[in-house]
Amino acid sequence: MSARWIAETLHANEGLTTSFRADKILYEESTGQQELVIFDNPTFGRMMMLDGATQVTTSDEFIYHEMMTHVPVLAHGAVKSLLIIGGGDGGILREAARHKSIERITMVEIDPEVTAFSREHLPMVSAGAFDDPRLDLVFADGTKFVAETDQRFDVVIVDSTDPVGPGAVLFEEEFYRNAKRCLTEGGVLVTQNGVPFLQPGELTSSIGKFRRLFTDGSCYLATIPTYVGGPMAMGWATDNAALRFQGVEILHARFADAAFETRYYTPEVHAAAFALPRYVEKCFPTRV
């Protein structure tokens, strides 16, 4: 029997598709919200794809999850409450839970099936974090949650799919405005903003909205092998502009206090991630 290859079609409009060999299909079905498939690949390990776009692989997920989480938490330096929008695989939750100084973690996932599948087929990603007593797991529309909640958070992390299908609303200005409403003074919003080389419009749109709503709107970068086309951008928005420029010495002290090991994140990588190539800077809209 010939091997089955599963295509990622996210960049089809840009003339690029990527195929992954599926040695074993663990699950494949429409959840009613999204088309989901979980399978094993010899290079990237166990993979989950939604609507033709890779969401997580067990071989390199640590890069994305560490950088999405530790950069805002350690830049802020005093996070007590953290909100995750999306992130049904539990990777962001796992990294957030490693910070023992965080007292409350709220996770809002629109599709309970994604979390159920992840806990069954990708338990190594969450690594038991769903059982953390600090977690409040809410199955709801993240856009409604940030518009209606009375809770406030020091960091909001939006671990979304790309701006197609159900995830598109998480890139709208109304969502960002309501996310800001949920932040404590000087809090940080971090978002997934795609690969700028292939998706420059996504970054331009988000940064423009950030700069209308926040004092500081920018991004930082991480190179994740699964996501082809160059480094991935993580959107950054806060009213405390100094947080983006935390010195390495301060980051080292905070990282030492956190007292856990990482596989990608270091204070030096943290600081350098905000140094952007010229082609990425050119994605930024001119501030009005």
User: At 1, is the pLDDT very low, low, confident or very high (cuts 50, 70, 90)?
Assistant: low
Q: Is the pLDDT of residue 7 over 50?
A: yes
Which pLDDT tens digit goes with each residue over 189-206?
999 999 999 999 999 999
Would you name the residues annotated as active-site residues?
A: 159
User: At 288, is the pLDDT very low, low, confident or very high (cuts 50, 70, 90)?
Assistant: very low
Which is more confidently placed, 262 or 227?
262
What's the pLDDT score for residue 9?
Answer: 87
Chain region(s) in the chain for CATH 3.40.50.150: 61-281
Q: Is the pLDDT of residue 251 over 80?
A: yes
- Fold of the domain built from segment(s) 61-281: Rossmann fold (3.40.50)
Chain region(s) in the chain for CATH 2.30.140.10: 4-57
Q: What percent of the chain has pLDDT over 70?
A: 94
Residue partners of 146: CB distance under 8 A and separation at least 6: 83, 85, 156, 175, 178, 179, 181, 182
Q: Is the pLDDT of residue 166 over 60?
A: no
Q: Which of 235, 230, 158, 160 is nearest to 195 (CA)?
A: 230
The tokens for 39 are 């399978």
Q: Which CATH number fits domain 4-57: 3.40.50.1820, 2.60.40.10, 3.90.1150.10, 2.30.140.10?
A: 2.30.140.10
Q: What is the pTM of this model?
A: 0.93
Q: How far apart are CA 221 and CA 236, in angstroms?
A: 11
User: At 165, is the pLDDT very low, low, confident or very high (cuts 50, 70, 90)?
Assistant: low
Find residue 137's DSSP bridge partners.
107
Instruction: Give the strands of the sheet with 53-57, arranged side by side.
Output: 24-30, 35-41, 45-50, 53-57
What's the pLDDT score for residue 133?
Answer: 98
**Rounded mean pLDDT of the chain?**
92
Q: Is the pLDDT of residue 232 over 60?
A: yes
Which is more confidently placed, 101 or 169?
101
The tokens for 171 are 């890139």
In a 13 Å sphere around the CA of 236, the CA atoms on its Cβ side amount to 28
Q: How far apart are CA 11 and CA 111, in angstroms?
A: 24
Which is more confidently placed, 140 or 31?
140
Q: How far apart are CA 41 and CA 219, in angstroms?
A: 31
The tokens for 162 are 């790309």
